[in-house]
């Protein structure tokens, strides 16, 4: 008489050795897994994580990120929910707990493989696919503006025939992956040949779109810096080939075209809302240009419930703007309507989504709203 042997649970295997991956295994004790996030190379910044778990099926796993409390933005962890996917396409929230500097979350495995990330990733493979797809669209021109320290391309896509020069750029901070999802949404809208908003914009403006300014940091799984630990959004006053070739080539291209409108797209760890930051405090500040910035925000809040103007960053005092930051430098250098768009890692709490939180899809839709508002104000630039 034979009996069916009891299945032996698969051993747990953690891996982050892939495009955009970041995690370090501290210990695996049964179904409890202790981890640490790896610092950006030559930097103390860290917060982005992205890893795969094999052997999860049929187990209730408990994950602990032990060094969360010393991360770049520990205020980002309270009320945060990790993102989880079993197919790397759909990313849902999973509840997390933060106490004593440790971030914890659980997962009951229905599949052998599962991926966890700080936010829905946008890898370099996805970036390359986006560039290849968009470069073939009617009216689109592709330029390689320069290369990174690791030798990767800085891609720029240009479309439109109007005299106004609009620059859209993202991922100076590579861990802010929602920014490139926003870029995908913007490019899809700008290449929609049936859309009347797009037609109006392209007749009045030429768009220069840099979807990813920090390919090295993206591939390496960094939060905030490039291959040599440099925060690109503190390099705009004096970029160099040695430290920040990414900024140097983009700023040189801006100098060649001029800039009337600029949006630098980011993500914010702590504030559970979408908002824009401006250029208060630049030496050449005028109330007239400042009003155009405030008007853009008010219009965007009317356009979509996924934007608000109450929460955001403080304003620099007159004459005290940090000109090493792109929004300030571009406003001062070109007299442009320049702004930083910040999206949350948590959720836009005024219009929250329990299952997905702030998501890739909502980031793309917000890009559509931003372009619709730009169409309303383009004649005033």
pLDDT at position 284 is 98
**Nearest of 199, 184, 197 to residue 139 by alpha carbon:** 199
* Helix (H) and strand (E) counts in the chain: 8, 16
Pair 142, 135: CB distance under 8 Å = yes
Tell me the C-alpha to C-alpha distance, in Å, between residue 353 and each of 92, 104, 180, 186, 270. Answer: 10, 21, 20, 22, 17
**Could you list the active site residues?**
342
pLDDT digits (tens, 9 = 90+) for 206-229: 999 999 999 999 999 999 999 999
Pair 83, 91: CB distance under 8 Å = yes
Residue 304 CA to its chain's centroid (Å): 20
State which CATH number among 2.40.170.20, 3.40.50.150, 1.10.8.10, 2.60.40.3120 fits the domain covering 13-117: 2.60.40.3120
Write down the architecture of domain 124-380 according to CATH: 3-Layer(aba) Sandwich (3.40)
pLDDT at position 8 is 47
Tell me which DSSP letter residue 11 carries. Answer: P
Q: What's the N-to-C CA distance of the chain in angstroms?
A: 85
Q: Where are the beta strands (DSSP E) in 196-236?
A: 205-210
pLDDT at position 301 is 98
The CA distance from 368 to 154, in Å, is 24
Residue 25 CA to its chain's centroid (Å): 26
Determine if the pTM surpasses 0.85: yes
Give me the DSSP letters along 294-349. Answer: HHHHHHHHHH-TT--SSS-PPPPPTT---TTSHHHHHHHHH--EEEEEEEESS--G
What parts of the chain have a pLDDT lower than 70? 1-10
* Number of neighbours of residue 177 by Cβ within 10 angstroms: 29
pLDDT digits (tens, 9 = 90+) for 98-151: 999 999 999 999 999 999 999 999 999 999 999 999 999 999 999 999 999 999
pLDDT at position 1 is 43
pLDDT at position 9 is 57
Domain extents in the chain: 13-117, 124-380
């Amino acid at each position: 008489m034979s009996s069916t042997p009891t299945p032996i649970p698969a051993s747990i295997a953690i891996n982050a050795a892939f495009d955009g991956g970041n995690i370090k295994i501290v210990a695996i004790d049964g179904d409890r897994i202790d981890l640490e996030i790896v610092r950006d190379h030559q930097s103390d910044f860290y917060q982005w994580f992205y890893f795969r778990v094999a052997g999860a099926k049929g187990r209730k796993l408990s994950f602990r990120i032990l060094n969360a409390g010393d991360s770049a933005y520990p205020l980002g962890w309270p009320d945060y929910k990790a993102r989880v996917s079993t197919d790397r396409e759909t990313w849902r929230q999973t509840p997390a707990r933060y106490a004593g500097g440790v971030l914890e979350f659980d997962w009951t495995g229905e599949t052998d493989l599962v991926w966890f990330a700080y936010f829905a990733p946008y890898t370099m493979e996805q970036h390359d696919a986006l560039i290849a797809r968009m470069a073939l669209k009617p009216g689109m021109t592709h330029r390689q503006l320069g290369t990174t320290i690791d030798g990767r391309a800085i891609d720029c896509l240009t479309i439109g025939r109007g005299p106004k020069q609009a620059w859209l750029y993202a991922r100076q901070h590579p861990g802010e992956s929602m920014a490139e999802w926003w870029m995908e949404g913007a490019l899809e809208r700008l290449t929609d040949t049936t859309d009347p908003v797009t037609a109006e914009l392209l007749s009045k403006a030429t768009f220069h779109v840099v979807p990813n300014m920090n390919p090295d940091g993206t591939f390496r799984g960094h939060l905030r810096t490039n291959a040599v630990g440099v925060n690109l959004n503190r390099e705009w006053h004096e970029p160099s080939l040695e430290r920040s070739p990414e900024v140097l080539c983009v700023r040189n291209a801006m100098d060649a075209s001029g800039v009337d409108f600029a949006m630098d797209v980011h993500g914010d760890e702590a504030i559970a809302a979408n908002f824009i930051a401006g250029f208060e405090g630049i030496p050449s500040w005028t109330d007239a240009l400042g009003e155009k910035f405030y008007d853009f925000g008010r219009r965007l809040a009317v356009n979509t419930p996924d934007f608000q103007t109450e929460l955001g960053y403080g304003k620099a005092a007159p004459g005290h703007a940090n000109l090493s930051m792109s929004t300030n430098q571009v406003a001062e250098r070109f007299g442009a309507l320049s702004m930083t768009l910040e999206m949350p890692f948590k959720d836009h709490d005024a219009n929250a989504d329990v299952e997905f939180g702030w998501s890739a899809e909502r980031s793309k839709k917000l890009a559509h709203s931003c372009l619709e508002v730009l169409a309303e104000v383009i004649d005033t630039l």
